[in-house]
Amino acid sequence: MLLTADDIHKSFPLASGAAQPVLTGVSLSLAAGETLALTGESGSGKSTLLHLLAGLDRPDSGTVTLAGNALSALPDAARAEARRRRIGLVFQQFNLVPSLDVAANLSFQARLAERHDAAWCATLADRLGLTPHLGAWPETLSGGQQQRLAIGRALAAKPPLILADEPTGNLDEENAETVLSLMLELAAETGAALVTVTHSANVAAAMSRRLHLSRGKLA
């Protein structure tokens, strides 16, 4: 297995000092090249789980293992290094660097991972329809173009795992379909596994597996 989560528990403190459980014994596994949709109501813990899988946070108990390494047990700097080299992140809010042009944003993650490939970045730009905009600033792009750029950035280093949080949530139906198709197509070409948090039935149906999160547990 490329990624496993074993008996994950996570709570967050309330103003009263009590703890609010968000995840209560979540376990899942993901093989290389597999695609998985995480669905559930707002507040069900989907984004929390995705952050734990990415090593952006640690579980209170349980283990997240990536490529045979216990990601959740690593110190902050080592988890950050694992993210740079092994994980591509796609956020609903794009999180592009406003001071970098499109070309620099596209190659940003690959350069951090020390795996920049100019030919692959050029291919991504072409496939994502971004070649005419490489010298532009992110703010001048449409929402669909910004999300395609965010997907290209995540794929530029050819990581084994892509984690996407509502990647089509801010897009209209036409752009959402385009972005979803490109993300799946490019992930398959690089052999990357893909986990997508989504409220969209269309996005969930496009994945090879679907897990539903409710009241802190998977169904």
Q: Which fold has domain 3-218?
A: Rossmann fold (3.40.50)
> Per-domain residue ranges for the chain?
3-218
pLDDT of 93: 85
pLDDT reading at 219 higher than 90: no
Ranges 8-17, 107-116, 125-134, 169-178: which has the least confidence? 169-178
Q: Which two tokens stand for residue 113?
A: 């991972």
Residues contacting residue 146 through CB under 8 Å, at least 6 positions apart:
94, 96, 138
Alpha helices in 45-172 (DSSP H): 46-53, 76-86, 102-112, 118-127, 143-155
- Kindly state the average pLDDT of the residues 83-106: 93
Identify the pLDDT of residue 168. 86
pLDDT band at 176 (very low <50, low <70, confident <90, very high): confident
pLDDT at 94 over 90: no
Mean pLDDT of 13-18: 86
Separation of alpha carbons 80 and 178, rounded Å: 31
pLDDT tens-digit map of 129-152: 999 999 999 999 999 999 999 999
Residue 10 near residue 48 (C-beta atoms within 8 A)? yes
